[in-house]
Chain A
């Protein structure tokens, strides 16, 4: 990839993801975070909370499955003990003030979908929560089955959520991403982890929930409908030690493009890129032959009509055999041979 293009991506996409994680200017009203046991979304949610605190946005945390609410949350709602109506009442109480910007965090949509009467009405429930001052960040565990009415024609919940979301963030483990890249470089099948291994008794793969940080795959949908796709790496924050060093409230911007991650760069040599596969194709083959074509050779080759095209033209079947030969200048016409 050209360095200028990378630089361009770096500036634009980093700005974009920062805007998304900050939930600034209502950049994405509904962010869907798809995680799995390979890399949970907790770290990402904490990052959203930290950034919310920095930008003085109120964070409302709906805990369906979190036992210990992360620090820095302004309002926590014990959603696991409420039913849908109770939840809506509780939320409308917190979202009264339209001036106050808030981020609503669902720590798991899967359990929510199991509530009676939620599954079919999910779009209306979710959109009732979104307002110009409120954005929604919801986690969906891709490996937890949710109920689906087999008789109905309605799409599955995940399909629906993906359709509704303005941004889809998928989390990956750095270990797994590096292993997959290395395998690709050697044209090997990419390794699978966890449940996908389909080994008896394994639900969490080796290298899951990487301690170094989270690989984030972002798909941001612009208003025009065009999607921006990018991979980032979000390192873990070094807790209190750094806090006390920097003074309270110091905030270090640490998200980077995955391509800039030192380990990822090493894992893949030049010319292979996840976002545009095949960019480096045809280059870098060392041989004494010239395998390429010149422009003229290529045009000539395209101009050749292959015999089976001709056979399809007229009659075709049942017309008998024909010899198709166009004489070149160097050919010597032999009459005797023609008479045979």
Chain B
């Protein structure tokens, strides 16, 4: 099957869903895009059951669903790209309630809504959901009460999480009418209406509901596992007017999302270009003067990136080849354990081996979208 072929053998061990709730970080630089890694994560999760149809041990054959939130490309480009590389049709998977897509880009800069919620407003839940009630209570999804994961006993915004129609304020109703694209929610496609984090959280929640909705009706007792992919949420930092408010709130939103029920793993793609990490480098060297010289966006982006790296179990770092351009090498991929790789000793004995081992490899993205990943010096063979 071509979906299987799309996964580079060297990477499969890293793309497997981890045994527990965790976060993975994929960093990219200009010229070494992270898109293909996120795609491979998606393909590995969605192609799972057909590949491991027989061997269901170790959770490999379990039902995995994907929620993709993308701030970089829209539905069409993801659909074309994934079909090209793996033969999987995400539209068909969305019909089967196995895939949901949240478009963060299309409605992001809707001029009717430029206000950024502050942290206080955010935590007190003052901001209403900027979606029409119809789309929230779609006929296809069963309105079940949402459960936060047991780790989070006191979820904030309890009111907003309830599936009933939220109270809409005057301005937000007009915002929802002016949404550029209006899609019925049953097809698993959602559009973020603004850059507000509340709408991000709620829309992602509904997308997650959508992919886990079939669970209630199906008779097997196996819990669905959801892979949440966030493609470049750092765009929000640069589009909001007040990044200092946005960055901690965005982090806590990501934390809340990755702790939702059934969400097994979260993959976040973030840019790590030199100017975006420079503030962290200066911080590390304690160059007091240099730290102060950075613009808010620079320092907040690097704080966002480094905070995510500290939360991540594994960090994929993509970069260009140091020696310059080459026709058969697109870049270097380094897989390193992140700050949270070591979350407990229980699984150490079983996992001490391949998984999470640091590794540096070269990769080549070909014109047809396929990717070859190989060790240094092993290229040019095929």
Hey, which chain B residues are within 8 Å of A201, CB to CB?
Answer: 27-29, 32, 272-274, 317-320
Tell me the bound Cα distance from A203 to B307 in angstroms: 12
Hey, which chain A residues are within 8 Å of B299, CB to CB?
Answer: 145, 147
Interface size classification for chain B: 35 or more
- Residue from A69, A76, A156, A211 having most chain B Cβ neighbours under 10 A: A211
Taking CB atoms and an 8 Å cut-off, the chain B residues in 21-58 that contact chain A are 21-23, 27-29, 32
Number of A-B pairs whose CB atoms are under 8 Å? 206
Interface segment among A37-45, A51-59, A329-337: the answer is A37-45
Interface size classification for chain A: 35 or more
Contact B283 A114 (CB under 8 A): no
Contact A111 B248 (CB under 8 A): yes
Q: How far is the CB of A242 from chain B (nearest CB, A)?
A: 9
Hey, which chain A residues are within 8 Å of B320, CB to CB?
Answer: 200-201
Hey, which chain A residues are within 8 Å of B288, CB to CB?
Answer: 156
Say if the beta carbon of B309 comes within 8 Å of chain A. Answer: yes
Hey, which chain B residues are within 8 Å of A312, CB to CB?
Answer: none
Closest to A63 in B: B151
Taking CB atoms and an 8 Å cut-off, the chain A residues in 212-265 that contact chain B are 236-241
Q: A110-B307, A114-B248 are in contact. Are A195 and B280 (CB under 8 A)?
A: yes
Q: A156-B288, A198-B274 are in contact. Are A68 and B252 (CB under 8 A)?
A: no
Query: B293-325 toward A: CB 8 Å interface, digit per residue (1/0)?
Result: 010000110110111011100010111101000
Q: A78-B153, A110-B307, A141-B306 are in contact. Are A196 and B281 (CB under 8 A)?
A: yes
Q: A116-B120, A201-B318, A204-B315 are in contact. Are A67 and B345 (CB under 8 A)?
A: no
Q: A65-B310, A156-B288, A208-B358 are in contact. Are A200 and B151 (CB under 8 A)?
A: no
Contact A68 B337 (CB under 8 A): no
Taking CB atoms and an 8 Å cut-off, the chain A residues in 31-49 that contact chain B are 35-37, 40, 42-43, 46
Tell me the bound Cα distance from A237 to B152 in angstroms: 28
Tell me the bound Cα distance from A35 to B307 in angstroms: 12
Tell me the bound Cα distance from A292 to B248 in angstroms: 62
Contact A81 B252 (CB under 8 A): yes
Contact B344 A71 (CB under 8 A): yes
Contact A204 B279 (CB under 8 A): no
Q: A80-B256, A145-B279, A206-B360 are in contact. Are A67 and B349 (CB under 8 A)?
A: no
B residues neighboring A (CB under 8 Å): 20-23, 27-29, 32, 119-120, 123, 151-156, 244, 247-248, 251-252, 255-256, 258-259, 272-274, 277, 279-286, 288, 291-292, 294, 299-300, 302-303, 305-307, 309-311, 315, 317-320, 322, 334, 336-346, 348-349, 352, 358, 360
- Can you spell out 23 A-B residue pairs with CB atoms less than 8 angstroms apart? A46-B342, A65-B340, A67-B258, A78-B153, A80-B255, A83-B123, A111-B248, A142-B283, A143-B280, A143-B283, A144-B306, A144-B310, A147-B299, A156-B291, A195-B280, A198-B274, A198-B281, A202-B317, A203-B27, A204-B315, A204-B336, A236-B348, A237-B345
